[in-house]
Amino acid sequence: MPNIKKSTGKRGPRKRKLAEEFPPGEVFTDLLKKKWKLGPVIGKGGFGCLYLADVNSSESVTSDAPYVIKVEPSDNGPLFTELSFYMRAAKPELIKKWISSHKLKYLGVPKYWGSGLHQKNGKSYRFMVMDRLGKDLQKIFEEQGKRFSRKTVLQLGLRILNVLEYIHEHEYVHGDIKASNLLLGHEIPNQVYLVDYGLAFRYSPEGNHKDYKENPKRCHDGTLEFTSIDAHKGATPSRRGDLEILGYCMICWLSGSLPWEDNLKNPDYVKESKIRYTDNISGFMLKCFTKEDKPDEISRYMEKVMTLSYTEKPPYQELREIFLQGLQDIGHKDDGILDFEVLLNGDVPAKPKLSFIYLSLSRILTPNMWPICLKPRLVFIHEEGNL
Cα–Cα distance for residue pair 42/62, rounded to 1 Å: 12
Cα–Cα distance for residue pair 129/50, rounded to 1 Å: 10
Cα–Cα distance for residue pair 56/276, rounded to 1 Å: 55
Cα–Cα distance for residue pair 5/2, rounded to 1 Å: 7
Q: Identify whether 262 is a catalytic site residue.
A: no
Nearest to 49 by CA among 27, 69, 30: 69
Cα–Cα distance for residue pair 17/4, rounded to 1 Å: 15
Cα–Cα distance for residue pair 48/125, rounded to 1 Å: 10
The answer to whether the CB of 241 falls within 8 A of the CB of 252 is no
Question: Checking DSSP bridges between strand 133-136 and strand 182-185, what pairing results, if any?
Answer: antiparallel
Cα–Cα distance for residue pair 237/172, rounded to 1 Å: 9
70 marked ligand binding residue: yes
Please enumerate in sequence order all residues whose Cβ is within 8 A of that of 344, keeping only pairs 6 or more positions apart, or say none: 149, 150
Cα–Cα distance for residue pair 293/333, rounded to 1 Å: 19
Amino acid in position 244: E
The full DSSP string for 119-152 is EETTEEEEEEEEE-EEEEHHHHHHHTTS---HHH
Cα–Cα distance for residue pair 328/348, rounded to 1 Å: 26
The kind and range of the H/E element at 160 are helix 150-169
Phi, psi angle pair for 93, to nearest 5° = -70, -35
Cα–Cα distance for residue pair 86/357, rounded to 1 Å: 47
Choosing from 176, 230, 242, 339, which is the catalytic residue? 176
Would you list which residues are annotated within the binding site for ATP?
A: 70
Residues identified as active-site? 176
Would you list which residues are annotated within the binding site?
A: 70
